[in-house]
Amino acid sequence: MLEGICVGVSDGDSLILELPDGERVRIRLYGIDAPEKDQDGALPARKKLTRLVYDKPVRVEVHDIDKYGRYVGKVYAGARYVNRYMLKEGLAWHYRHYAADDEVLTEAETRARAAGRGIWASESPCRPRNFRSENRKEDSCVD
């Protein structure tokens, strides 16, 4: 478990945590994938994550360290499970590739889709992993 104060938000699924000893670590929210910088939905996702965690005490239940050296984990601001909240509000996709068995995250995305919240208000939202792909085809964004 990591605990500290959020001192930065990079995008809708990444933040910077300052630990009690002053060390700063990068955190990637486990099991979600928010829209990329130049993608529809990126700004609302970043703004919401900022409102939830910036300059606030945050706890991270670490699951892994990714290839970029970021801690990947479940993020909590007070009692709020931030990863779930971002999905529930339609601000990110459930990243099933890394969290396929997480029923809490699956349900949060399912409800947001059904309600047409956030990215799900679009006729054809594009998964960030497809958006990132250099060789994507036009129809690769259809989910």
Give catalytic residue positions: 28, 36, 70
Do residues 93 and 32 make contact, with C-beta atoms less than 8 angstroms apart? yes
70: nearest Cα among 33, 7, 17: 17
Bridge-based pairing of strands 71-77 and 14-18 is unpaired
What one-letter code names the amino acid at 111? R
DSSP letter (8 states) at residue 127 = -
